């Protein structure tokens, strides 16, 4: 993957995750992002496939992040590697904000590829996987009840995000740094 392509996909993933998260939370989320990176967050004990390369030296003890928080240039400098390799997947979600920045958490795979084994192509911005915010208990419980009712044969569609917000209201971000 070319460096410019990776940077453009990061910017688009950031725009999407901030826009998506705003649908759920009461927090103000500025467009300007800073990133927290958790590298090598995958199980890499299996054999490498195709053009994959691993960088075990990037591993950090559980719970630690690559610090300090960085801008998009810092993300690209850290995760884009020689021979156009990037992590196979990078999960993206919002974890907090301050008046100037939205803090975006990047949890990345430890296997790197030039493109052969990229995940999340269906989102159009591989390797990025845009995720919603951590849900408070009331939301998780309502979602679980909805799933159980449908499994028991209830003839109703799954609740949409809009229906969940209408029924339960928006919530403050639940900071989950995993």
* Buried residues in 135-162 as b, exposed as e (16+ CB within 10 A): beeebeebeeebeeeeeeeeeeeebeee
Reading the block at residue 33, the tokens are 């992002």
* Residue carrying the six token digits 């993933």: 13
Average pLDDT, the chain: 88
Q: Say whether the peptide bond before residue 2 is cis (omega within 30 degrees of 0).
A: no
What is this structure's pTM?
A: 0.87
Give me the residues paired with residue 129 across strands: 91
75-132 pLDDT per residue, tens: 999 999 988 999 999 999 999 999 999 999 999 998 999 987 888 988 889 999 999 9
């Amino acid at each position: 993957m070319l460096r410019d392509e990776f940077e453009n996909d990061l910017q688009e993933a950031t725009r999407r995750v901030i826009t998506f998260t705003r649908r759920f939370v009461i927090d103000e989320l500025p467009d300007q992002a800073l990133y927290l990176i958790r590298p090598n967050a995958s199980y890499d004990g299996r054999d490498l496939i195709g053009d994959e390369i691993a960088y075990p030296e990037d591993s950090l003890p559980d719970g630690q992040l690559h610090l300090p928080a960085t801008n998009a240039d810092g993300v690209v400098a850290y995760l884009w590697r020689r021979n156009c390799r990037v992590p196979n997947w990078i999960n993206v979600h919002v974890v907090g904000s301050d008046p100037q920045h939205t803090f975006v958490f990047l949890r990345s795979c430890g296997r790197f590829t030039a493109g052969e084994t990229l995940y999340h192509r269906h989102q159009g911005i591989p390797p990025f996987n845009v995720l919603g915010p951590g849900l408070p208990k009331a939301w998780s419980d309502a979602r679980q009840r909805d799933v159980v009712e449908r499994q028991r044969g209830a003839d109703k569609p799954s609740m949409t995000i809009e229906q969940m917000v209408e029924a339960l209201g928006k919530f403050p971000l639940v900071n989950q740094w995993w």
